[in-house]
Amino acid sequence: MYRIGLILVTVLGLLVMQACTEKPAPGQTGQDPAGDVTPKPAAQSGGTQYCDFKGGPEDAKVRVVAFYPGRHEDTLAAVKSLLETFPDKVQVEFVDWRREEGLKRRDATGLTCAGVMINDKNAFDLVVGGEKTKVLFVRGIDGEWTKADLEAAVRQCLASAEGASTE
């Protein structure tokens, strides 16, 4: 039984580390102004395309940092959509933790796997759909959290930054 568990953990680890498939060509930054978060094949093959991105104003009151090793297109699209939902109020950043500096940044937050930090927090008490709930932004979307949860957390942070009540 121990061997089966060890094999499953190893296979899962390899799948997570596989994530994106190509390395960006020289001059590519991983940022796609058109909003597409799907990894694109680069001119060169055999490497890894990192899924780093940063958008929104530098002086935004709310900073959303998503720590993912690529291949979380639905999650990254939901996070990136915050730039349209809250224009000029939110800064969004994707940190690909397959890079050493990305892994260091992720570990410094206290995350041990994929997750989202909103103003340096990933746990929120929110009112979503009229119900109060505790939301933990770990793993991908539609697991522990939803897009509605993400937007509610950002609204709460914006209201707090503007000195308004969230309830």
- Per the domain annotation, does 78 fall within a domain? yes
How many Å separate Cα 28 from the centre of its chain?
20
* Average pLDDT over every residue of 126-146: 90
Q: Give domain status of residue 151, yes or no.
A: yes
What per-residue confidence (pLDDT) applies to 4? 55
SS3 80: helix
Which comes out higher in pLDDT, residue 163 or 1? 163
pLDDT beyond 80 at 26: no
Query: What pLDDT shows up at residue 9?
Result: 40
Q: Judge whether 106 lies within some domain.
A: yes
Q: Give the structural domain span for 90.
A: 51-161
Residue 100 lies in a domain: yes
Does a structural domain hold residue 76? yes
Q: For position 147, which CATH number holds?
A: 3.40.30.10
pLDDT at 40: 40
Band the pLDDT of 160: cuts 50, 70, 90: very high
Task: State pLDDT tens for residues 83-129.
Answer: 999 999 999 999 999 999 999 999 999 999 999 999 999 999 998 77
Lookup result for tokens 């093959």 = 45
Q: At what angle do helices 73-80 and 147-161 cross, to 10 degrees?
A: 30
C-alpha closest to that of 50 among 74, 27, 31? 31
Burial class (CB in 10 A: 0-12, 13-18, 19+), 90: buried
Domain assignment present for residue 32? The answer is no
Q: How many domains does the chain have?
A: 1
Determine the pLDDT at residue 154: 97
Q: Which of 6-10, 72-76, 146-150 has the lowest mean pLDDT?
A: 6-10
Judge whether 96 lies within some domain.
yes
Residue 10 confidence class, pLDDT cut points 50, 70, 90: very low
Query: Which tens digits make up the pLDDT trace of 36-91?
Result: 544 443 333 356 778 889 999 999 999 999 999 878 899 999 999 999 999 999 99
Q: Which residues contact 39 (CB under 8 A, 6 or more apart)?
A: 20, 21, 22, 49, 51, 70, 71
Assess if residue 1 is contained within a domain.
no
